[in-house]
Structure 1
């Protein structure tokens, strides 16, 4: 009777590590969906601006709003794909956990399958994080361009900022 319990306890111990990874992926998905929500809200606001009464600032403001919409579209695409990849990664982690338990009850040797599925989950997560980084770079690049409008009014950074 103790023998099966030892095997089950070891399987549960093996499954704990992927569960921590699953928790981390859930946190990443939470961040990604929050970013997507903010981007969508900004895009809707710009669309309302463009379809409403003429913008103050005329054609120049309209062109800036259209450029902003194009950037937001790129950001939405990157975040959306990152969410899809991270979700697929989480799904594969669930498969790994399931296979660990099924393998314990059926006594089948699925070690190679677990390795490959877990590796696929890690690769999907890595690509999802890469797209997250790309989305952040897109956002920062557009902010940097807008900061260029400040000219001499940019705050000083570094040691000289404290002295001024």
Structure 2
């Protein structure tokens, strides 16, 4: 039978990385909203480009915006992939910590805990970098000053 204090310690140890999972869930929600806005804007542009009376300069501007939107969508998707990978790695870390604590009665960690945790943190950092690039693309693709 398991010692209650050992069980309590193992739960505390395994729950600590769950706070990172909370941050990941928040970022996934934010990225989902950003992707939805990108998709909605692309649909509007495609509809506008279907207008036969559209001038060449307007059509060119729409094509440039579509290229920018496509880049943004790709970076959002890359960030989403890294966030899901992060969540999987941190989830595995939590399982490893919990099972290592509960099965042996004391903490006997395999080297997998280190690898999954570092992979999770690395994935989180790469997701943040991808998000930063997407935000920069969005910021530099708009005109901040009114037309003369």
TM-score, normalised to structure 2, is 0.91
Residue 133 of structure 2 aligns with which residue?
134
1:23-69, Cα deviation, whole Å (9 max, x unpaired): 011001111111011001001110111124432xx111011000000
Residue 94 in structure 1 maps to residue 91 in structure 2: yes
Q: Please, what is the CA RMSD of the aligned residues?
A: 1.6
Return 5+ residue gaps in structure 2 as ranges: none
Residue 162 of structure 1 aligns with which residue?
none
Task: Describe how 1:10-159 pairs up with structure 2 within 5 A.
Answer: 10-55=9-54, 58-107=55-104, 109-143=108-142, 146-151=143-148
* Counterparts of 2:141 and 2:129, CA distance in 1: 19
Residue 155 of structure 1 aligns with which residue?
none
User: What is the SS of the residue equivalent to 2:141?
Assistant: helix
Instruction: Report 1 or 2 for greater relative contact order, CA contacts < 8 Å, sequence distance ≥ 6.
Output: 2
Residue 6 of structure 2 aligns with which residue?
7
Specify which structure has the higher proportion of helix. 1
Structure ID, larger Rg: 1
TM-score, normalised to structure 1, is 0.83
* Counterparts of 1:4 and 1:53, CA distance in 2: 76
* Counterparts of 1:150 and 1:124, CA distance in 2: 41
